[in-house]
Each structure stands twice: as structure tokens, then as C-alpha cells.
């Protein structure tokens, strides 16, 4: 008698089907991938891996959020990507077997699906279409990283922070009576690493915007009350 799918297996399938990388796979292909994966639960703030660690796996976010970042030459911590459900990370080391090129930290309590290099590479060989999709994911990741570093080098803090908040609202926002509410709860540290600045500088800028009516805070969530004005800070 075939056992019914476990809740976590169903969660894995749902997450994979939301990923541009996996969403075109057939159900039996997804089941094959799920069967060779392992699960990893990580509390908020825990380090998943650090830059320079041995890279033997790729990970899929099932629940929660992962912050992938690095440090600049002058010691500032930079968040390069925020990964939510269905998104993959660690794919560079999975393909080339080299040490991790960035740090990954759980931005909130997170459940991961882990695919080891020794089982995933043969799976890629058997499913040729995945190779092309993986290249698309890699190119998109490199493009985002390049843009993030360009923002840091060319834009001042108000423009960087406005740009990041507008992008977060586009990805994680919901329109409400007070404006565009970002569903993620971002700590002071999260915001400062997103724009490669200090918590004090970010808080000072947010205070200015609160007083002028551009942003607000509701139950720990940032609300963008005037997206047009914020957008003008980096598009002018």
C-alpha cells in the first residue's frame, strides 16, 4: 500500500513548483528529486554557511527567508539577495565544488530542502532541460549582485534606501489603507546590510521620512506611504 505524501513532501513540491528553475518539471521528476533531498530547519539568525566553507550542496527555501551577503573591502556588511520560498541558493558551489562565495543567514525561522552535489549532478545529467534553466537562474543571480554593488558605489544612502524599499515593496508588498506594507519584518541590522550602511544612519533617514510622511511603521512592518516620492529619489 502506497503511503500518502507527508506534509513536508507536499510543501517541497509546492515550493519547487513556484521556482522558475523547477516549475516545468513533471510530478514524477519532482518526486524523484524530493526523495533524494534532506530537510534542514534553521532558527532566526543562525548561520547556514559562511564564505569560504566547503560547498557540497544547493538549498531550496521551503518556509522562511534567507539573507545571502558578503563584506566590502572597507568592512561593511552587504546583503546581496533575500531568498524566500521556492528560491534556490548555494548553486555556484554545487556546480563547481569550490568554497562558498558568500554568507547565508536565516533572516527568520526557516525550513530548507537540501540537495547534495553527489546526487543532484547525476539528476541534472538525466534532465537536460534543467541545465538551461539553471543557467538562467545563475545569470539572474549575477545580474542582481552586479546591480547591488553598483548601487553601493554610485548612490548615496537616501537613494539606496529608497530604491531597496521600493524593490522590497514590489516583491513583498501589499496595498493597504496606509500605503504599501512590506510583509517582511526587517530588523535594523537587516536594513543596514541591505544598503551597506550603519544602523544609526538608516534609522536617522527613516526618522526623517516618517516625519515627512513618506514611510510609517505598523506592527513592526514598514509601510511606504508615498512610493512616488521615494522612487523620485533614485530615478531623478
Both ends of the chain: CA-CA distance in Å?
65
Average pLDDT, the chain: 84
Residue 5: the pLDDT is 53
Q: Which residues contact 90 (CB under 8 A, 6 or more apart)?
A: 49, 55, 57, 58, 59, 100, 104
How does 184-222 read in b/e, with b if 16+ C-beta sit within 10 Å? Answer: bebeebbbbbbbbbeeeebeebbeebeeeebbbeeeebb
pLDDT in tens, 54-74: 888 889 998 898 999 887 666
**Which residues, in sequence order, are bridge partners of residue 203?**
none
CA pair distance 15, 69, nearest whole angstrom: 23
pLDDT in tens, 82-135: 888 888 888 877 778 888 988 999 988 999 999 998 888 888 888 777 777 777
| Of residues 3 and 170, more confidently modeled | 170
Q: Which three cell numbers stand for residue 27?
A: 510530478
CA pair distance 67, 138, nearest whole angstrom: 17
Determine contact, residues 56/117, Cβ cutoff 8 Å.
yes
Amino acid at each position: 500500500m502506497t503511503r500518502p505524501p507527508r506534509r513536508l513532501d507536499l510543501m517541497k513540491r509546492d515550493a519547487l513548483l513556484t521556482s522558475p528553475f523547477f516549475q516545468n518539471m513533471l510530478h514524477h521528476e519532482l518526486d524523484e528529486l524530493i526523495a533524494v533531498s534532506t530537510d534542514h530547519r534553521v532558527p532566526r539568525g543562525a548561520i547556514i554557511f559562511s564564505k569560504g566553507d566547503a560547498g557540497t550542496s544547493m538549498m531550496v527555501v521551503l518556509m522562511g527567508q534567507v539573507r545571502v551577503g558578503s563584506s566590502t573591502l572597507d568592512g561593511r556588511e552587504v546583503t546581496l539577495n533575500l531568498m524566500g520560498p521556492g528560491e534556490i541558493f548555494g548553486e555556484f558551489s554545487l556546480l563547481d565544488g569550490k568554497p562558498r562565495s558568500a554568507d547565508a543567514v536565516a533572516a527568520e525561522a526557516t525550513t530548507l530542502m537540501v540537495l547534495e552535489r553527489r546526487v543532484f549532478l547525476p539528476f541534472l545529467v538525466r534532465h537536460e532541460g534543467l541545465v538551461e534553466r539553471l543557467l538562467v537562474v545563475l545569470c539572474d543571480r549575477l545580474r542582481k549582485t552586479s546591480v547591488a554593488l553598483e548601487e553601493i558605489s554610485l548612490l548615496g544612502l537616501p537613494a539606496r534606501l529608497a530604491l531597496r524599499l521600493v524593490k522590497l515593496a514590489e516583491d513583498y508588498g501589499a496595498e493597504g489603507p496606509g500605503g504599501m506594507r512590506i510583509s517582511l519584518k526587517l530588523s535594523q541590522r537587516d536594513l543596514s546590510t541591505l544598503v551597506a550602511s550603519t544602523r544609526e544612519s538608516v534609522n536617522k533617514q527613516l526618522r526623517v521620512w516618517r516625519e515627512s510622511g513618506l514611510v510609517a511603521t505598523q506592527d513592526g512592518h514598514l509601510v511606504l506611504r508615498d512610493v512616488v516620492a521615494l522612487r523620485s529619489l533614485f530615478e531623478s
